[in-house]
Amino acid sequence: MSSTPARTIEAFDAVDLIHAKRDKGELSTPQIDWLIDAYTRGYVGDEQMAAMTMAIFLNGMSRREIRDMTMAMINSGERMSFDRLDKPTTDKHSTGGVGDKITLPLMPLVAVFGAAVPQLSGRGLGHTGGTLDKLESIPGWRANLSNDEMFQQLQDVGGVICAAGSGLAPADGKLYALRDITGTVEAIPLIASSIMSKKIAEGTSALVLDVKFGSGAFLKDIERSRELARTMVALGEDAGVATSALLTNMNVPLGLAIGNANEVRESLEVLAGGGPADVVELTVALAREMLNLAGIVDVDVEAALKDGRAMDKWNAVIRAQGGDPTAAMPVAKETHTVVADRDGVLVEQQALPFGIGAWRLGAGRARKQDPVQHAAGIDLHAKPGDTVRKGEPLFTLSADEPERFARALEAVEGAWRIGAPGDPILDGGPLIAERIGN
């Protein structure tokens, strides 16, 4: 006589939890723990979690619920520890933008001063570029490291930029993919728990958040960005991670390069003591924050950019991951330059359209599996406030296929404007608007 295996009795029912959040109720800690676990193992289906994420998008979550969600996602996988390192760990996360290559000069700069920087990074999707895509412009460089390789590189060199392993917060991987196709990406509780679950699971002792606002940002309104920053700082503090955030302006592209290989080249200019003023300003500000949270104070960050120490650290990190820092990077086969049609002052340069333009040139991807063209992108020759002359270049498009230029030009149509001297500059104000944290 055969016996039927006993069916596991689930602690809760997904529909009851959806009803509760739909009707603006709070989910208990055991309910949230069960929901994330059941979704990770496939008992709760995508259609049920899609309904839950929409209910959260519409009705929000309390601080306690967000904390519980974050911890449940951390507990869905492994949790790393750098306790064996003989140096403090400190990390940075950016919510993404146009021309945001700050991780590249920032990591070696901070590592110069004896901190370990475990920078687990991702790839781009849509108009926001991915740090790993940029670095893969360097011949031989590899993104995938084992935990042992990462630990050894942090001990020996002080910094690493690599892909996060699939074992870190796997619930977030499933949930993010679902949010991306259900119109719930912008839900602040879900953004905060997504970012912080990975960063806390990563094991860093200190974390600085670069939370963007403006045209090219994930959240365009500064009030929403401020809410996200405060939520994430609170999550970090609750988890025992020293955390702060800078609210930074993404109305205008950051720096002059938008793409992959060209952003690496611009980062090297910064590491050589030059580079665009806004990239240098934000790199230095974030480095100071990271070092302060790690307990490393009274150091001259700017000097390390000018005297070659940060560049030496960059070269060591790139070599440690198989890259050749002296190798030539890809150059596009075709270029198209847009010039000023009159004398005046560049008064407007919107970030989002230029990000979309670079994406259409091949610098980004529409689907995760799509390749990127490392040489594709846009190089800006002027920024808002600069005087321009008729016939002078404003920006140059680069691509391997010239047929991409037409759609890229459509994207940036109306995104820049030349005015007269004295006209207001539409750049959204200071680069760094506010600091949030203790």
| Torsion sign, CA atoms 152, 140, 165, 103 | positive
**Active-site residue, 21 included:** no
Three-state SS sequence of 312-372: HHHHHHHHHCCCCCCCCCCCCCEEEEEECCCCEEEEEECHHHHHHHHHHHHHCCCCCCCCC
**Active-site residue, 244 included:** no
Q: Which of 21, 67, 93, 127 does the annotation list as catalytic?
A: 93
Give the position of tokens 């075709």: 334
| Residue 185 Ramachandran class (φ > 0 left, ψ -120 to 50 alpha, else beta) | alpha
Cα dihedral 267→269→272→275 (10° resolution): -100
Instruction: Name 243's Cβ contacts closer than 8 Å, sequence gap at least 6.
Output: 206, 207, 208, 209, 232, 233, 235, 236, 237, 293, 437
Q: Which helix (H) or strand (E) holds 435?
A: strand 432-436
87, two tokens: 């140096």
**How many C-beta atoms lie closer than 10 Å to residue 23's C-beta?**
9
- Chain centroid to CA 381: 25
**How many C-beta atoms lie closer than 10 Å to residue 387's C-beta?**
13
Measured distance CA(357)–CA(350) in Å, rounded = 11
Q: Which of 92, 101, 123, 179 does the annotation list as catalytic?
A: 179
3-class DSSP state of 80: coil
Q: Which of 33, 91, 100, 172 does the annotation list as catalytic?
A: 172
Q: Which of 101, 134, 198, 226 does the annotation list as catalytic?
A: 198
Q: Are 361 and 247 in contact (CB under 8 A)?
A: no
Instruction: Outline where DSSP puts E strands in 44-157.
Output: 90-94, 117-121
| Residue 187 Ramachandran class (φ > 0 left, ψ -120 to 50 alpha, else beta) | beta
**Active-site residue, 198 included:** yes
Measured distance CA(1)–CA(83) in Å, rounded = 55
Residue 300 amino acid letter: D
List the strands of the sheet with 344-349, edge to edge. Answer: 387-388, 344-349, 416-419
Catalytic residues: 93, 172, 179, 194, 198
